[in-house]
Structures are given as C-alpha cells and as structure tokens.
Structure 1
Amino acid sequence: MALVSAAAAYAGIGLYAVFAVAPEQWLIDLALYGRVILFLALLVLAGALTYRVAAAFTLSYDLDRNGLYINWLGNRAVVPLDQILHLDIGLGAAAQGWNPLNAIGYYAGQRSLDDGRLAHRFATAPNTRALIIHTSTALYAISPKDTEAFVQDLEQRRNLGAAKSLASTVEPGRMFLYAFWHDPIVRRLLLMAFVINLLVMGLLAARYNDLALIIQMRYNATGDVVAMLPRHEALFMPFAAFLLSLVNMVLGLLLYRSQMLGARLLQAASVLVQILFGIAVITVLR
C-alpha cells in the first residue's frame, strides 16, 4: 500500500509541474494523457488497498447464544446460530469467479453461487484454510485466530438454544453508503459517465497540438461565431463535465436511502452531460 501511495504521489507531483506554468505553455499530448490515466489508476488502487487494510484491522467475530456477528469498519453481518446447517474448512469451488466489484463493502467480497445462495468472504486466511459456515441461504468464510476453540464455542452456544430470533442480514454502516455502490444500475451509469469522460479527454489530447492558438468556442442561435478563445479553454469542457458528474454522484449518495430513483436519475443525467460536452468538444475539433 505504501509503495502504491508513493507512486501516486510521485505521479501527482509530476503532473503538478506540468500544469503549474501558464495555460498557454501546457504541453498536451497522448503521453501526458497516459500519465493522467496512470495517476487516476494509482489513486483508485491506493484507495482500495487502504480500505482493505482498514477493514482487516477492524475485522472481528463475536458470538452469543443467538448469533454470530461479523464486524468491520462499522458494518455488521448477522448469522443466526439456529440457521447454521454445517461447518467446513475451505471454500472449494465457491472460491472461483470473484472480481474486484465483489469486494465493495467487504473485507473480501460477496457473490452469488450456482445454487442460489450468497457467498460472503470475511476471512484474512487463504480460501483453503478459511472456516466456512453454511446456512440455507448463504455461506460465510471467516478466519478466527483459533479455529478449533471458535468452533467449540459456537457449538456450545448453539446447544444452549436461541433466546430470541434473529434475521440473517448484513447491516451496512453509514460511513461508506454501501447501498448506493451496490446498486448495479448506479454502477453501470457511473462507469459509462467515467469512460465517456476519459474518451473525450483522450480525443482532445490527441488533437490538441493540431488546434490553432485561438479557436472558435462560442456560437449564437444562428450558428455564427461570437467568441474566439485560447485553445486551452477547450480543456476545461471535459473537466467541467467531470465536476458536474462528481456533484451528481455526491447528491446521489446523499439521496439514495430516501430517493433511490432520484439518485439513479442523477447518475443518468451525468451520462447525458458527458455526451453533450463530448459533442461540444468534437465541434471544436472539427
């Protein structure tokens, strides 16, 4: 994690040096675009690794006669003891088919299995050594420090019988607003907006040096040019589109619990904004 963070900082300092001069002196090309993409990728990777480390340090397992409670970063998964069917060691075939999106909101991840159940990974141990708890609707991979003692404690509490009925659930903390990130529609819209923005920036970087120093940027209703501006002004169009999408994402995060449809529509609006700004950039480049 430290290495990735250092690499991101180094890339960021290099980009700052490029843009610290007057806009007229910016050297915009595909090489610089590649450096920007690398910087963004390193930032995302550093954030993901930081999350994983924080989740690992806060991961804990608690037991009472009613249930098993898996805690991490203010979140909690509840496994009623009376719903446990059996225990295993190792995920087996369920260890296959995971992807990075499965890890959002977890130490390791969640995915659907072929039998219709959900697999939840909350283990710092390798898949082959994790303790697997099976219920009729899910399986949970965990890694207590002393597996044998943990299993004995769990069985003793199961034998006592539940004092109250619990529901098998994952209770997300409010810190990271997981419900928003887990929505597949929101994910697709965010990805579409981000990809369109990157494509527009790439197109602009590829054609930037072919532009005249002063370009036509504003038109009236009849299509006549009403303003000639320095070419670096064109760079602010995809940046403005990105900021608008960022605002919509933040608003979506805040509204999702009470207005899920509204939050989704905001992300759809972000895609539309990216398309419109993309058309504007293409018009400038013609």
Structure 2
Amino acid sequence: MNRWWAKRTLRLWVALAITLLMIGATIWATMQLLADISGTASAWRIDLTTFAWFATAVSGFLISLIMLYRVGSALTLHYRVDRNALTIHWLGNTAVVPMNLITAVEPSVDVKQKPGLLTRFGYISGVGQAADEQILNFFSTQPAEQSLLLRTTGGSYVITPAQRDSFIQEVESRLNLGVVQVQSEGVVRSTRIAYDFWLNNAVRWALVVGLLLNFAVWGLIAWRYNQLPLEVPIRIDATGAVSGVEAREQLLALPLVGLLAWLINAGFGALVYRTSRAGAFALLIGSSVIQLFLAVAVWVVVRG
C-alpha cells in the first residue's frame, strides 16, 4: 500500500515560523514573570504588568500546544489507498473513507462555506459545505480550487496529494478492482482523547470563557495587590463574618484553585464527552461558575 504525502506549501512553513515565535514569546513572558515574583512571597510587588506577563505566559503556552499540534499534523499528513478504503493519516490519527462509498474523484472543489479561520493554520481541516450543499471534510494543504474532491454517498473529502495525477490513477484502479472487505467510515484511531470534543465549537467557547474568567480574577488581584495590607481577611465563617486573616500572598491561592479547576474539568469533560455530552458541558459550565464565585470572594477582599 503506497503512501501519498500531502503537498507541502508556504502555509506550512509560515505556520512553523509563527509557532516558533509564539514559543519564544511564551518563554520570554515566563522569565519576566519569574523575575517579578523572585524573593520572599511577602516582598512580591504584583501589579497589572505582572498580570500581563502571567496571562501571556499561560495563554502563550496553550496556544503553542495547539500550534505545535497543527504543524505536526501538517508535516505528517498523508494518504493511503487499498482495495477496501482510502485512509487519511495525520500525527497518529486515521480517518477511513471506504472504497464502496466513493462515487467520484473530481479535480477541483466548488466551496460555499469554508472551515473556520482557526482550522486553516498549518493546513486546512474541519468541515465545510460545497456549492451543492454537500458536507465537505477537509484534510488539505492548498485552497479548494487546487484540491481533489472525493465524493461519497454521505459526504465528500477534500485532499491534496503531492503526486496528484498518479494518486488519481491509483484510486481509480482500486475502484475498478472492487472491494474485498467493507470498512466503516470515520476516524477509527486517534491520539487525542475524545477527538470530537476538541472539534466542538461550543466546547471551545466554553473553555475560552472559563479561562478568561480566571484571568479576570488574577487581574482583579493584580490591580489592588500592592495597596492591600500585609494581612487580609480571607477566612469567613458561616454567617459571612471575618473569622481570621491571612498573609496577602495567600489571596493568590484563590485564582490558582480556579485555574486548576478549569484544567481538571476540561480533562474530565474530554473523558466523558463520548458517553455524556451533557455531563461534559456541565463540567465546563461548572468551571466557569467556580471562577465567578472566586471573583466575588476576591472582590470582597480587595475592596477593603
């Protein structure tokens, strides 16, 4: 079974350069953050500049991971063809297009709706729509008009093999031979937990909202931190009255707990997504609610 590499274009190398710049910016922000909080905790001078370094370091780290995944996917994207199926491979993932479902191989694609902008970094992936309303599954490195279209009975696949003509001949010859064993269509192996979880736009927005709310808690502390006394009323009893004070650096534990809750809920959400989407969304919404409660608690302290 031959391996047909996807065509590598300027898009990939630009994405790689941007990724390296992002990693460099993340390292720089982390170094600045560590410089701001060096020494004993009681002597830390935390302000909005410190918060900016923190937000840049955390978001830069997460964005760098996403960028590295997409660049790695683009570098490893290839296609294989046998009598039973055409398979699409990228970074340990495999999507299967059964030969018995392929109805045509067309040299170009007329697209009505492209995948989202973020799914075009490094290579083009995701779901779009053709001019004839058919669903398009993108696994390509070039614009639609320069890609191949594999039409199937249920949808179509947009791909870009580097050896275009030879690939078309290979697919057509396999189609003429007929199928020996019927395959199931779809992603059958994935290196990512809950592949569909990360592709869901609602999931992505829920994760972004939760993280932004957590950043807001950090920002609220940074805004007033240097004006706070060395000891602040953090411990509250059941009646809402202050039951004790703590060193002001202990206040930083509140958004840290929120960040850990966001990470843990995202992880458990990915694990349960396939069996219970409602459960996954409940976890994501729950992490945002936690951030709101923490924001209220911090506001009570910093307003004096």
Q: TM-score range by the shorter chain?
A: 0.7 to 0.9
Structure 2 residue 165 is matched with structure 1 residue 124: no
Cα separation, partners in 2 of 1:4 and 1:186, compared to 1, 3 Å: closer
Aligned residues: 284
Q: Which moved more, 1:217-226 or 1:84-93?
A: 84-93
1:51 and 2:56 aligned: no
Aligned to 1:21: 39
Aligned-residue sequence identity (percent) comes to 31
For residues 90 and 7 of structure 1, what CA distance do their matches in structure 2 show?
39
Distance 1:22 1:90 in 2: 63
2:161 counterpart letter in structure 1 = P
Deviation at 1:227, TM superposition (A): 1.2
Corresponding position: 1:7 with 2:28: no
Aligned to 1:108: 124
Q: State whether residues 220 and 226 of structure 1, in contact with CA within 8 Å, keep that contact through their aligned partners in structure 2.
A: yes
Shift of residue 198 of structure 1?
Answer: 1.4
1:37 corresponds to which residue?
55
1:55-204 equivalence runs, <5 A: 55-94=73-112, 96=114, 98-100=116-118, 102=119, 108-113=124-129, 116-204=133-221
| 8 Å Cα contact 1:95/1:127 also seen in 2 | no
- Structure 1, unmatched stretches of 5+, are none
Deviation at 1:225, TM superposition (A): 1.9
Q: Which of 1 and 2 has higher RCO (CA within 8 Å, sep 6+)? A: 2
- The superposition leaves residues 158-196 of structure 1 with CA deviations (integer Å, 9 ceiling, x where unpaired) of 112222333332224144431332345533432332121
Question: How far did residue 116 of structure 1 move?
Answer: 5.0
CA distance in 2, matches of 1:83, 1:171: 16
CA distance 1:32–1:128, change in 2 (3 Å): farther
Contact persistence 1:91–1:128 (CA under 8 A): yes
Task: Give per-residue Cα distances to partners, 1:2-25, cap 9 Å, x unaligned.
Answer: 332222222212212222222222
AA at the equivalent of 1:8:
T
SS at match of 2:127: strand
Let me know the Cα RMSD of the aligned residues.
Answer: 2.6
SS at match of 2:256: helix
- Contact in 2 for aligned 1:123/1:141 (Cα 8 Å): yes
Task: Read off the aligned partner of 1:285 and give its amino acid letter.
Answer: V
Contact in 1 for aligned 2:46/2:222 (Cα 8 Å): yes
CA distance 1:120–1:75, change in 2 (3 Å): same
C-alpha distance after superposition, 1:113-153 (max 9, x if no partner): 27553322222334442222222432222121210011011
- How far 1:51 sits from its partner (Å)? 0.8
Structure 1 distance, partners of 2:54, 2:110, is: 40
Check 1:182–1:172 CA distance in 2 against 1; reply closer, same or farther (3 A cut): farther
State the distance in 2 between where 1:6 and 1:150 align: 39
SS in 1 for 2:111: helix
> Cα gap change, 1:242/1:56 in structure 2, threshold over 3 Å: closer, same or farther?
same
Q: Which moved more, 1:254-263 or 1:143-152?
A: 254-263
AA aligned opposite 2:252: L
Structure 2: where are the runs of 5+ without partners? 1-18
Give SS of 1:134's match: strand
Contact kept, 8 Å, 1:89 with 1:130, in 2: the verdict is: yes
Contact 1:94 1:113 in 2 (8 A): yes
Q: Distance in 2 between matches of 1:74 and 1:213?
A: 52
CA 1:202–1:92: 2 relative to 1, 3 Å: farther
- Cα deviation for residue 240 of structure 1 reads 1.1
- Cα 1:142–1:155 change in 2 (3 A) is same
